[in-house]
Structure 1
C-alpha cells in the first residue's frame, strides 16, 4: 500500500516502545492573532487565552484551572471517557475532572490589565466563538450577551475597564440544551437554534479570546467586491467614530504591490459607509485553484488607523447549467467532513485535509454542518480550494424546531453572521444555508399545509445572503434539491449506486454533495460491487466503495455535475491512525496516545490539548512522527484515478465466482447421543433434523457427554456447549472452500452481524488440531453497523488487528467433527449446514420475526415464500428476484402476522388510555393495507423523498394473531423512482410495543381474501 508522508510541523517526538505513548513537544494548533503587522501601531491586541478559573454550576470555584480555549466538557467531544469496547476514547484533557462532563452551566473568570502604552485606544473584547448562551461581565458589570455557538463577536468595554489596575473578566455560559423546546405536535423537534453536528453538546469558551486596542476613529469593516466581468474592484468601507463629535478624515489605501486607491475626505458622525472603486486594467492576477494569487487591501484613515484585508481577484458566476470562475466553466470535486473532535481547531489538521483533497485531484471543500474556524477559509485561499460555506442548520439531526419564532430569528442572525465573516475570502464559492432540511419534514411527519409554510420561510432565509453579498450567485441547501424551485442550484445527496435517472433536466447547476454508502452501507448492500469481498474485511468493504465512487465520477459527476463530493473521503477513504499505540495484544487505554508535553503557554492563540487518543482521526500533520500524513485506501485511489481519467483496479464491478452446488441430501435419519428432552435435542428438532435413537451413519453427540470411546465407523458431529466460554466471539465465519460441507457457503450465508442479540454465532474457538472447516472472521461488522461515524471505522479496524485466541469453530479430525458454534441462533445457517452434510431436513417449526427491534419490517411472505429486506431498511423490488416486468404495471403483496396481547379493535372497552398503533408505509407509488381481510384507509398520504408515506392510524389489532397484507403497485421497477417498500410500526405506548410479537410466515387460515391490485 502506498503511504503519503508530509510533515507540516517541526516536532520533537519521543516514542516509548514499551508503553507505546508518544510525547510531542511541538505546537498542536499554530495560530495567528487578530491584529495584522501592517495594522500596527494603530491597533494592538492581548490574547487572553490561558489558565482561567471555572465554577461548575452553582458550586464554588474548582481547584482545577481550565485551559482556554476549550469547552469544559471537551472530553465528551467524541466517544467519551469510557466508550463501548474498541471505540476510541476522547480524553483530550486528562487533567479535567470527570464531574465537568455533564455540567450544563458555569462561570469562567480571569484577571487582565490594559497595557500602559494603549493610551486613548478603545478597548474591546473579541471572542472567536463561545459554545452556549453567554453573558460577559467586566468588573461586575454586564458588557454584553451572545447566543450563537460558532461565530465571533465583540463588545466595547472602554467604559468598564480600569486603565491602571487589575480588571476582572467573567463569562457566564449556559448550554444550548437548556433552551430546548420540544414540540407537542412533532416530538422530535426540540432545538430552536442552529445546532450543528457533533458539537451541539459542547459548552464553554472553545475558541480564542482577545483584548483589542482600537483607535477611536477606525475602519470596522471592508467588503471587497471583485467584479472581474466589469474589470472593477470595489471596496465598501465602514467607518466608526467613537470620539463623541464629528471628525473630518482622509480615507485612502492601496492594493499592496499593485496600485493605490484614490483618497477621499469625508465627515464621519457615529458611523458611515463609503466605496473606493478602481478599474483594474490587468494589474491584478486572477485567483484560481491552480493559481491562488492573493492581495492585501490596505485602507487607511490618515494618521489614525490602518485596516488590512486579504482578497483574491476572481468572480464566481452561474450561467445556465454551468458554474463559471472568471468567465470560464469550472467543475468542482471535493470533500466534506464532520467535526469529530478538537483536532478540527488545529490549522495543521486543516492543511493536512486540504492536502489530501488536492492529492486525489480535488479542488473544493464543504466545511460541513456548521461554520468552521477562520483558518479553514484562510488555508483554502492560500492552497487553492473552492469552499462551499455552510451554516449550522443541520437538518440531519431531525431536531431543529421550526415551530418556534425564536428559531427563525436565530437562524437568520446565524446565517448573516457567517456571510459577514467570510464574504472576503476568494475561495468562497457561495452559501449553503442548511443541510438535509428535508429530514425535519420527513421524520416528523409534517403535514403538507404546514410544510408549505415552512418551505416558504426557508426560501426567504436562503435569499438573505444576496442582501449582504451581491457578488455571489451560488446559494444552495445541501441535499434539499433546489428547495421546491426557489434556489439557483439543485443539490442532492445519494447513497450507493449511480442514479443518473434521478438527476433533473433543468437549466441550473447540479450538485451531488454527498454520494456513496460510506457511512451506512452494510456488506449485503455493497456486495453488488465486489461480491463476497465486501464481507471479508474493512479493506474489502473499501474496495466496494472504490468501485462505486469511480463509477459516480466517470458516468455522473464529470458529464453532468457542477459540484461532486463523495461522502467523507478523509474519513472513509483513508485509514484511522493508531496515534501513540502499537501493542495489539491489548486494546488501547488511557496511557496510550500522543501526549503534548510542552509547557502550557499563557496568552498564546490556539487550543493546547494535553492528549490525542489513538484512532480518533485519519490525518497526522506530524503529531506522531512514526505515522504518515495519511494512509490511502482503495476509495481514495479510485477517486484519484477517475478524476485523472486513468484506469483503476476499481473501474468495474467484480462478478464473483459461483460456489459449488451443495450435495443432494440423502440421510433420512440422524443418530443422537444425549438428553432427548434437553435443549440441544429440542433445538435440532425445531431445525428439522430427523433425530433417531443411538448411533447411525451420521450421529450428533451432545458435547457435554462426549467420550472418545463413542467413535464408530460413521460420521460423528460433536456439538459443544456454546455457553462454556466467551473469549472469541464472532459475528461472521469464513469457510473452507474445498470441503463439501462448507464450500457451498457464500460469505453472505455466514454473516450474522445484523441479527441483533443473536449475532454472535460463536463465543469461543477450538484449540485442538484438525482440519478447520469454519473459522471466525477477524471482522466484526456489528462494530460498524448502527455505530456512530465517530466510532465505527476505528472500532472495526482495531477489532481486525487485535491479537485473538483460536477462531476455529468447526474442526474435523478423521470421522469426528467438533463444533463450538452457537446452535441456539442462526436458523438459516444451521439448516444449510445440515443439508450440506447430507441430511434431509423436515420443515422448521421456528418462527421468523417480521419486524426488527426498531419496528422496521425486515421479513415477510411474498408469493408463498419468506423474503428478507436486502438493505435491512426497505424492500427494493429489483433486488429480490420476484420475476417482475421491467416495464408496465405490477403489484406485489407482502404478508406478515402481528400478535397483540390485548384487543385494540374495541377502544370503548379499554378507554382513552388504550395503546394506539400506527403503521407507516413508504412506497414508490400506490400502497394498500388490509388487516384480517379488511382494507384500512390511510389517515395521510404525503410525499417523502421520491416515495409516498402512507400513515395508517389506530390500527385495530385484535387480541392474539392478526394477518396484515401490504400491496404495492408500481410502473417502474428501476430508474429514478424504483419500486420499493418500507414499513415502520409505531405505538404511543413503548411498553405495549415491546409486548408485540411478529411473524414473517402466514398460514392459509390467516388469509381472509387478498386485496385486488390497486388501479
Structure 2
C-alpha cells in the first residue's frame, strides 16, 4: 500500500462516523496500561480456539515423518526489561503459537525494544524415541530468539518469518526436560524485515507481533537423515528434479530411493547416491492449475544399497573408478541400478505438482505475457495482508485459512499477492491443494522514523543501506525462498514493495532468479522501476477511480500490482470505534455505490487485458485490516461486501476463451 497516504491528507479519503450512511460502533474501551488495543472483534474460528486444539496439524506438509510431538498450548511467560536477569517468577500463561500482542495468546501486552520475552515449559519424550536424535523446530519467532534446554544454550536465531531448528539430543535427560525461549523484538525501532508491523500502529501500519507465532514441535530422527529437498518440475521435458541433501556426508552404500505416485500408484522411481541430484521421468504429466490443482505424492527413503564400487579384497586400484566417476552420469547410472538391502532408515513423505510459471509471447504482438503451463492465463488476485483481529499474524486455525482461500476462489480470483508477509507452511499447502496462484512478497523492513529509506514516485536513485541491514535482509530473503520454493502455488517472487527500503534491486532480483529459475521474479512492485534487468514484470500501482495503463514493454509482462481500495464500513464489524478513523482509498456511500465503483474499475482491467496485453491485476484487498476498510470482506470475515457470486460474474470476462 501507498506510503504517501501518511504524508498527504488529500490522498487519504477518510471515512468517519459523521458521514451519512457510514455508521460506526460505540467507542471501544481503551487498552489497560501495558496492554495493546485489541478491539472486540473475533472470528468464528478464534471463538473455538483452546489450548488443546491450537494448530494441531503437521507443520511441514511437504516433508512429513510419522513421529512428532506438538508443543503448542499453554506455556509460562514473562516480559521484563531486556537487561534484567532471568526471572524467578513468571507473569502467567500464554497460548502458543499466538504472539504476545494477540488476543488469542491470552496476554495482549505491549513489547518494546527495551523488553525481553521469556517463555518456559517442560516436555517428556515418548518412550519409543529412545536412541534417536531429537530436533526442536520453530515455525517462526519474531525476531531474535535464544533457546535453552535444561539450562544450557542450544542455539540462537535472528529472523521474524523463517523456520529454524536445533538438534537438542545432547541436552536431554530422562523424564521432564525444561525448555526456555528468550526473545527480543525492536519492531519498527529497528530496520529488520517486519512487513506491516509498527510500534505505533496507524493507517497502513498494524499492531506489532512479537515472540513465537508459529508452531513449535519436536521430531525424532536417525543420526544420518534427510535434511532438505529441492523439487523442481519441468513440464517441457516431462521430468521432476529432486535434489535430496542429508545432514552430513554419507558412505558409498548410502542412497535415497525417490518414488512419485498418483492416487496410490507409483508412476516413477529412482535410486540416487546420497547427496546427489536426481531426476524422475513423469510421462503424460497431469498438470496443476487453479482449475485442476492436481498433486502427486512423493516419498523419499534413505536406504542401503550394495556398494557399486566394492572391490575384491586386496584388489589393486580399488578406488580408481569411484574417484573418476564422482558427480558424473556414470555414477548416477551405477546407483540407479543398485540393489537395495534391508529397510529404509529414514522416510519422508511429501507431494509435488507438474506446472510451469514463465513469461512468453502473448495475445498482443510485441507484448510478453505471464504464462501458466505455457498458456496465457490472466492472474486475477487480491492484495492479501494475512492479518486477523484475534491472532494478528497467526491465523486462528487451519480451518480459517481453508475457508478464506475457498472464498477467494468462489469470488472469481485465481491468485493472491501475499503482501509483505510469510505464512505458516500449512497455508501454502492449502493453496496448493485448493489451487490458487501466489505472488510471494519479501517482508519489507525499515526504521519507523528514517524517512530517507522510502522512495517516492519521482525518486531517481535507490537508497544506501548499512551493511548489517543488507546482510539481514538478504539472509531472510534467501531463507524465504528456501522455505517455500517447493510449493507449486507460488508462481512469482516479489522482492520489493513501493520503494520501502529499496536498494540494489537488480542484483537482488538476479540473486532470486539464480536461487529459483523456475519462477517469475518481480523485483519492484510499484514506484521506482529500475529497468528491465533482473525482472520479468513491469508493475504499477494505480488507485485512481479508473486504473491507469502500464506502459507497453517488449521485454517484460505488464501488470497492475495494486489497485482498487474501495472503502465501505460495515456496522458491527469495525476494528475502531469512537473518534478513531477508518479509511479507504475511495469511500463508497453504500453497497450499491460500492458495486458501481468496483464494476468501473474492473471494466478497465478487462479492457486492458483484452486490448493491451495486461497479464495480472491485484485488487486491494482481501479483508479490512484494523483501520483499513477497503476489503472484500470485513476484518472478522463475517460479511462479504458483495455476494461472492457477484464478484465472480464481474471477473468472468477476464477468463473468456478468445
TM score, norm. by length of structure 1: 0.47
Query: Which residue is equivalent to 2:378?
Result: 331
Partners of 1:115 and 1:375 lie apart in 2 by: 25
How big is each residue's C-alpha offset from its partner over 1:972-1003, in whole Å with a ceiling of 9 and x where there is no partner? Answer: xxxxxxxxxxxxxxxxxxxxxxxxxxxxxxxx
String of CA shifts for 1:877-925, please: whole Å, max 9, x gaps. xxxxxxxxxxxxxxxxxxxxxxxxxxxxxxxxxxxxxxxxxxxxxxxxx
For 2:259, the equivalent position in structure 1 comes to 254
**Matched residue, 1:279:** 281
Q: Quick one: distance in 2 between partners of 1:520 and 1:44?
A: 48
Give the equivalent residue in structure 1 for 2:336: none
The alignment's TM-score, normalised by the length of structure 2, stands at 0.71
Alpha-carbon separation, structure 1, partners of 2:588 and 2:615: 36
Counterpart Cα distance in 1 of 2:348 and 2:617? 37
Does 1:139 pair with 2:150?
yes
Is the aligned partner of 1:632 residue 2:641?
Answer: yes
Matched, 1:369 2:420: yes
CA 208–535 in structure 1, closer or farther in 2 if over 3 Å, else same: closer
Find 1:409's aligned residue among 450, 453, 471: 471
Equivalent of 2:542 in 491, 494, 497: 494
- Counterpart secondary structure, 2:594: helix
The one of 556, 575, 583 aligned to 1:508 = 556
Name structure 1 gaps, 5 residues minimum. 1-19, 75-90, 181-190, 267-272, 441-453, 522-533, 578-616, 621-629, 647-1015
* Corresponding residue number in structure 1 for 2:77: 54
SS in 1 for 2:386: coil
Residue pair 2:565, 2:621 contacting (<8 A) in 1 also: no
Pairing of 1:280-679 with structure 2 (within 5 A): 280-282=282-284, 284-302=285-303, 303-320=344-361, 321-341=368-388, 342=391, 344-345=394-395, 346-393=397-444, 402-437=464-499, 455=503, 457-480=504-527, 482-486=529-533, 487-518=535-566, 537-539=589-591, 541-559=593-611, 560-571=613-624, 617-620=635-638, 630-633=639-642, 639-645=647-653
* Contact kept in structure 2, 1:176 and 1:201, CA below 8 Å: no
Q: Does 1:234 align with 2:282?
A: no
- Output the CA distance in 2 between the equivalents of 1:117 and 1:569: 45
Cα shift readout 1:256-282 (whole Å, capped 9, x = no counterpart):
22423222455xxxxxx3122122221
SS in 2 for 1:435: coil
Secondary structure of the residue that 1:640 maps to in structure 2?
A: helix
Q: What residue in structure 2 maps to residue 609 of structure 1?
A: none
Measured in 2, the distance between the counterparts of 1:142 and 1:351 equals: 38
Residue-by-residue CA offset, 1:409-453 (whole Å, 9 max, x unaligned): 11111111111111111111020112111x55xxxxxxxxxxxxx
Does structure 1 conserve the Cα–Cα contact (< 8 Å) formed by 2:540 and 2:559? yes
User: Of the two structures, which has the highest relative contact order with CA contacts closer than 8 Å and spacing of 6 or more?
Assistant: 2
| Aligned-residue CA RMSD (Å) | 3.3
| Inter-partner Cα distance in structure 1 for 2:549 and 2:184 | 48
Following the alignment from structure 1 to structure 2, what is the Cα–Cα distance between the partners of residues 565 and 21? 25
In structure 1, the residue matched to 2:12 is: none
Give the direction of change, closer, same or farther, for the CA distance of 1:35–1:391 in structure 2 (3 Å limit): closer
Per-residue deviation, residues 97-130 of structure 1 (Å, max 9, x unmatched)? 7577997312111112222211221111100011
Partner of 1:207: 214
Corresponding residue for 1:665?
Answer: none
Preserved CA contact (<8 Å) 2:566 2:588? no
Distance 2:127 2:549 in 1: 69
Aligned mate of 2:179, from 166, 169, 172: 169
Does the 8 A contact of 1:389 with 1:432 survive in 2?
yes
Shift of 1:499: 4.6
Runs of 4+ in 1 over 6 A off after TM superposition: 20-23, 35-38, 99-103, 395-398
Cα offset for 1:333? 0.3
Structure 2: how far apart are the matches of 1:290 and 1:458? 34
8 Å Cα contact 1:127/1:207 also seen in 2: yes
Classify 1:574/1:107 alpha carbon distance in 2 versus 1 (closer, same or farther; 3 Å).
closer
Residues 241 and 247 of structure 1 are in contact (CA less than 8 Å); yes or no, is this contact kept in structure 2? no
| Contact 1:553–1:642 (CA under 8 A) maintained in structure 2 | no
With over 3 angstroms needed to count, the CA separation of the structure-2 counterparts of 1:562 and 1:66, relative to structure 1, is same
Equivalence for 1:148: 159
Task: Give, in whole Å, the separation in 2 of the partners of 1:360 and 1:239.
Answer: 43
SS at match of 1:512: strand
Q: Retained in 1: the 8 A contact 2:268–2:282?
A: no
Gaps of 5+ in 2: 1-41, 198-205, 304-343, 362-367, 454-463, 570-585
What is the count of residue pairs matched by the alignment? Answer: 511
> Contact conserved, 1:56 with 1:103, CA < 8 A, in 2?
no
Q: How far apart are 1:639 and its partner, in Å?
A: 4.3
Residues 224, 234 of structure 1: 8 Å contact kept: yes
Is residue 621–residue 631 contact of structure 2 (8 Å, CA) maintained in 1? no
Retained in 1: the 8 A contact 2:498–2:528?
Answer: no
Residue in structure 2 matched with residue 124 of structure 1 by the alignment: 135
